[in-house]
Chains A and B, each alone.
Chain A
């Protein structure tokens, strides 16, 4: 036993071990465990409104009207690969295969992905910007062209954006794209121009089954707080700790 490893004395072993264990314990203690509804109850230092979004997957019928309304309201290019808001159809087959499809964002409707006998479970997931409270996309912007407002809405400054595409890569939800004509990044603004006039965003206004709920998280009597209290809500990719404020009811763990 003349290995290099045997040269470590008992004292050194305990010394190094204690330091390592102490370091790990300290580092873990300083991390705040992720709480999916952390920002539903209280906004960090925000006064006034603090907007949140709720989507009820049980109610979504996949008509794609939200995706269409978003394109019209915000002049998003009609090409099938520019979306601020879109719908995905998840189909989990009996053999465990998961099919995800979103033909033209769901604007033209969906076809059933597999014969009914083969399907274990199937549902629609409307997707849009999560308006994260700790958004990765605003953190990476080199020029300060994207930011979170006091109301918790992530906006883009088109005048100041240099189109470097860094935020497009940083968004874990794929909610940003480069506008082909402007050359700058474009994303969901939660219809900021409608909010300021006291109206609902277009996709919430148009949803035929009221699967989309929107409101002020700071107001205990708002629709969104009622929704959060009465449903089992979850955010997408909670392990990334983005502080997402888009809460899904009946979200399956297959959704990415």
Chain B
């Protein structure tokens, strides 16, 4: 074998060895165990904090509202749909039975017209549901602008919840 080929093989061997060592040093832990990614990333993704709870955890304490809701159209509606994320509330609010709840545990109490309109405002994209006999879902469509907008005597705007109980509309 000529001299220069031998030298070249040596150079290549050093280069490949250096590359292998570098790869071992730089390659993150658990990379390639399940594919071309870090297997630990799957575990890390499962560690994120939760904010929403499940519907059952509300009715453990708020039994009266559950009875109210079960008799009305909103029977299928989960509490968090209107009141927002309630995991912290469901875990810690029990400690404040006779005291006032701190702001971090207080849930949103919707009451404005826009809160109801988000589902019930008249919209052509929504209205088909009323006439679709295949669906059991039916959402009442109300023209928010003309449906009793204000008190005819005092001209004070009405809120939806003044006439309709939101838990049993």
Interface residues of chain A, those whose CB is within 8 Å of chain B, are: 58-59, 61-65, 69, 72-74, 89-91, 108-112, 116, 119, 122-124, 144-147, 149-150, 155-160, 189, 192-197, 199-200, 202, 205-206, 208-211
Contacts and interface: CB of A to CB of B under 8 A. Distances in A.
B57 to A, nearest CB: 11
Interface stretch (B12-20, B63-71, B112-120, B153-161): B112-120
B142 interface: no
Contacts of A195: 46
Secondary structure call for the A interface: loop
Contacts of B48: 74, 189, 192-193
Contacts of A200: 54
B163 interface: no
Interface of B: 28, 31, 34-38, 41-42, 44-52, 54-55, 76-78, 80-81, 84-85, 114, 117-119, 121-126, 128-129, 132, 134-135, 137, 139
B135 A59 contact: yes
A46 to B, nearest CB: 12
Secondary structure call for the B interface: loop
Contact of A144 (B37, B47, B85): B37
A110 B118 CA distance: 7
Given A109-B118, A193-B47, A147 B54 contact: no
B126 A59 contact: no
B52 A73 contact: yes
A192 B44 CA distance: 10
A232 to B, nearest CB: 12
Given A61-B126, A91-B124, A159 B44 contact: yes
B136 to A, nearest CB: 9
B123 A110 contact: yes
A193 B129 CA distance: 34
Given A72-B84, A206-B52, A63 B125 contact: no
Contacts of A160: 28, 37-38, 41
Nearest to A201: B52
A62 B126 contact: yes
B36 A144 contact: yes
B46 A59 contact: no
